[in-house]
Amino acid sequence: MAIRPVEEIIQKPLIKRIALSIQYQGTHFCGWQRQKTAGSVQEIIEKTIFSLEPFYPIKLVAAGRTDSGVHAAGQVAHFDSVGQVPVNRWPLALNGRLPSSIRVRDSSEQKSDWHACYSAQFRRYRYIIYNGCTPNLFLEPWSWHRYQYVLDENLMLEAASGLIGYFDFSAFQRSGSNRKNSFTTIQEVRLSRQGDLLVFEIQASGFLYGMVRLLVGQLVLVGEGKLSIKDFEKRWKDKLRSEVKEAAPARGLCFLRAGYKEPVFRDNIVFDSFPGFSLLTSDPPS
């Protein structure tokens, strides 16, 4: 009787690639990526997944690595599963074990070569500036209270619009990046005023380390009349990183979503993940 190879006797596990849509309030985390000395979103979710599937190495890969204190409304991440948890049950299974500052909103199964980071065609961020004179406790965790001057949103949008295209944005890159170069493509910028709120959105093929916060810091100087559009353009076009010193605080920044060739989640999960704020702009009734 011939002896069968071990590979034929031991059945290989069926590996499923699971995509997750994740929200988190970044206030108390060191960012998305694992760190040796502080708690990260990645580490907490990986440990939670492992508690449900303790028989396969868990590595959670995200579309974008948010910095310390930055929020996410529609972060996309994937991991490989060999367990018995049904694909559509992952949000419920994880949310019952995660801290209240992290929530999984949706899950789907993707092809084995689909990648949350490398398959993404764009990433989109939103930054909120509260430009009112009076402090607002309920806006504080989600916005930058910049109240010294009334910001000129038209000047800020004019300056930001010149960024669209494929350029070297090393002027807006913090030290410590491991990227091979500083080139990326900014696809769209939007800036609108809603009463005392300024909402800035930017979409790009990818972002440099600390890019959005440095960029917003410069745009605010333009809006306050402290930096001309000409000088703003000179700083980034001539790659004058030493002159870009002002960075917006992390709390006003949120990773909105990542885009893919084919839909990964339901539309309401992708586009309704970060509801807008509204402020009373007229006098209250007497």
pLDDT at 26: 95
3-state secondary structure (DSSP) of residue 57: coil
pLDDT at 233: 97
CATH code of domain 16-110? 3.30.70.580
Residue limits of CATH 3.30.70.580 in the chain = 16-110
pLDDT at 178: 77
Residues of the chain with pLDDT below 50 are 1, 6, 8-10, 282-286
Active site residues: 67
Residue limits of CATH 3.30.70.660 in the chain = 122-260
Query: In angstroms, rounded to a whole number, what is the distance separating the alpha carbons of residues 166 and 219?
Result: 19
Quote helix, strand, coil % in the chain, to nearest 5. Answer: 25, 25, 50
The residue count of the chain comes to: 286
What DSSP designation does 251 have?
G
pLDDT at 213: 97
CB distance 278 to 193 below 8 Å = no
Instruction: Name the residue among 31, 41, 73 with its Cα closest to residue 176.
Output: 31
pLDDT at 6: 47
Q: How confident is the model over 38-53, as pLDDT tens digits?
A: 789 999 999 999 999 9
Name the CATH architecture for the domain at 122-260. 2-Layer Sandwich (3.30)
